[in-house]
Structures are given as structure tokens and as C-alpha cells.
Amino acid sequence: MDHNDRDEIFTILILEEMSLQMLLLCMMYMLVVSTAAERHYRKHILKDRTFIRIQARLDHLDRLIKSNDLNCVEQLRMDRRTFTLLCELARTIGGLKEDGLVTIEEQMAMFLHILAHHVKNRVIKFRFMRSGETISRYFNLVLNAVIRMHSVLLVSPEPVPEEYADERWKWFKGCLGALDGTYIRVRVPEVDKPRYRNRKGEITSNVLGVCSRDMRFVYVLPGWEGSAADSRVLRDAIVKPNGLKIPVGNYYLVDAGYTNGEGFLAPYRGTRYHLSEWTEGRTPNSPEEYFNLKHSQARNVIERCFGLLKLRWAILRSPSFYPIRTQGRIIIACCLLHNLIRREMAIDPIEAQLDEVATTIEDVETIDVVEPSDHWATWRQNLAVQMFNEWNASRGHGGVV
């Protein structure tokens, strides 16, 4: 190999070594740049995205509970003042805590939104920008807190006084309100469906509701199967240690599905009763018919109460995916929140839509049986005759039965 060939080979080797060094330098530079870019991404971009997410969440919550009463009522079924009071009651009486992750206001807003609109977990996940696990966990925490508030949200009924001018209630001295059962559709395991199937073939729970004259719940008993008779559910309610208590001398208005006995005043069976049967100028022709008319007008309060409850909370209008025990607790919570709204809001906009479309009494003798009573039947008949005669006299007929 001559001298020129050696120089050429040497030059090639030097160039290859320089190329390798340049490649290594480029790679090191790219590594440094990418590491710096990652640090910048984590420090600024992700931080900015987290901030934007938190701000969007706060903005959504503000629109719900701070912007105006209209939004708050439409989305959460109560005005801003009532919502604030509810959060305070949940904190002080319900034991609901703020853990630094989700405020009590946001916990309550998610809970009410689910009850009001019966939307699935993934919908709340999108709207409130929280994980599904977070939503489920706080739903149950708020549910338990609301149930613990029953002592301040259930009402103690006041009996109709002797001198009472209200035409609807004046005949029913000592009456505490009205009670009835309602069917609420539920979702149960296949093996339990026969027990929960009611007369219409729907899978439901038979819920006993007792309300005062101002359409607030006094007592609620959920959990019974849809196949259970109303009278059986009522018997269970009055024998429970913390069940429905009716002082002797007082009573509730009930429909013909219940026994007419002490504590429970029922209409006459086989006689016109429902308000729809008194349209087109029809008038009562006997004491029994007139009694049924006045009884129906007063007892209608429980029908309106149930109608308002289901209109307010969509979760009661179709089966939910919660376990049956949780579904029963949801029913109680809806009744308690209904009472709070009725108590705190001077105008209930949901009631306008309706027009368009456990209290324990201590040291008092109470009724502990549900059975027919000749004395009670006689009292009802005397009351019916008195009502009919006075009504006839007021019309100028002057007839006496």
C-alpha cells in the first residue's frame, strides 16, 4: 500500500469518528431537550390543564347554587337559601364532613341532581368532572346524612281543633291528616320479582305515607313488596317500636282499602267516593254520599302529597340501579327533602306543575291494633247524618234524616 492510500484511509477513519461524535452529541442534545420539554410540560401544561378543570368545576357549581334561584330550583329542586340551610343541617345534624377533596355544597349538589333527574353515574361524572367512584362514594355519604336528619324534618301533626273554619277539615275534629300506600317501581333480583309484583304486574315496593294537612310527611315506611296489602303494611307500621303512633282520640283519614276502626276513618264502601264522581253538578242524596264527598276532599291531601313527591324527584318515577335496601333509603330521603322544601319555600313551583298535569309521641296512650269497631262505625254514621243535615239546612231544604 503506497503513501497516498494510507492517507486516504486515515482521512476516512477521522471523518467516521467525527460523524460518530456528532451523532452522539446530537443524541445527547435531543435527550436534554426532551427532558427539559417534559419538565416544562409537567410543570406548566399539566398544571394549567388541572387549573382549567378545577375552574370549570367551580363555574358549574356556581351556576347551580349561586347564580340565581331559577337555576337552583330547576336543577336541584330548591332555592339557594334552602340549599344553604340543607348543607348546614347536613353538617351539624347529619354528620356530613368536608374532607378537603369535595366540599359539602358539591356533595349535596351531586346528590340532589341524581334524585331530581334520575341520571346515571356517568352523566354526573361528566357534568361535575369527578370520577365514578367519587360520585358513588359521596352519594352514599350524603344519603346517610339526610336519613340522620329525620328528627328535624319529619313533622308532628296537629289535630283539627274544635273551632276550625276550613270547609275541607272542619267536620273532622281531632284528625291528624291522611295516610295511604303508593307503589314505587324498583329493581330487584330475578328470584324476588314474584314478591314485588303488584296487581298491575309491575315490580314495585308498597310504600306507606302519612301526611299532615299541609302536605308534609309525618311517617314513611318503605320496603314492603308490591304484592303486600295496604292493611298489612299499616299493621306493621303501628306495631314497630318506632313506628306510627296515634294517640287515642285522634285519627287519620284512610281510603276504603283500610278497615274503618279506631284511629282510622274510612269512607263508606259501595257509595260514590272519588272526586271525579261528583262532577257535572251531581249532589249527594244521602248522609253516606255527603260524608264520602267531604272525606274525599280532605283525604285528597295524601294523593297530592304523593303526586308532588314523584313529580319533584324523578328517581321515584322509574326503577333505579341501587340495591333494594338503598332504594328504600332513597325513598325516605326524598320525603325528608320534600318536607324541608315545603317548610322553607313560600312558593313551591313544583306544586304549580302538579295542578297542571316518624314522629314518636311519648307518655300518651296510643292505638296499637287495626280492627273493625262497632263504636267507631256508629260514630261515623252519626257524623255523616250530622254533616248531611247541616248541609241540607244550608241549602234551604230543611230535611232531617
Q: What is the pTM of this model?
A: 0.80
**Distance between CA atoms of 46 and 162, rounded to whole angstroms?**
71
List own/partner pairs for 282-285 with CB under 8 A and 24 or more apart. 284/388, 284/391
Q: Are 222 and 207 in contact (CB under 8 A)?
A: yes
Output DSSP code: residue 267: P
pLDDT score, position 149: 97
> Which has the higher per-residue pLDDT, 25 or 256?
256
- Is pLDDT at 52 greater than 80 in this prediction? no
Q: What percent of the chain has pLDDT over 70?
A: 79
> How do residues 123-138 score in pLDDT, each as one tens digit?
888 888 889 899 999 9
Confidence of residue 60 (pLDDT cuts 50, 70, 90): confident
Classify residue 177 by its DSSP letter. E
Give, rounded to a whole angstrom, the gap between the first and last alpha carbons of the chain. 145
From edge to edge, which strands make up the β-sheet containing 264-265? 217-225, 204-211, 175-185, 251-253, 264-265
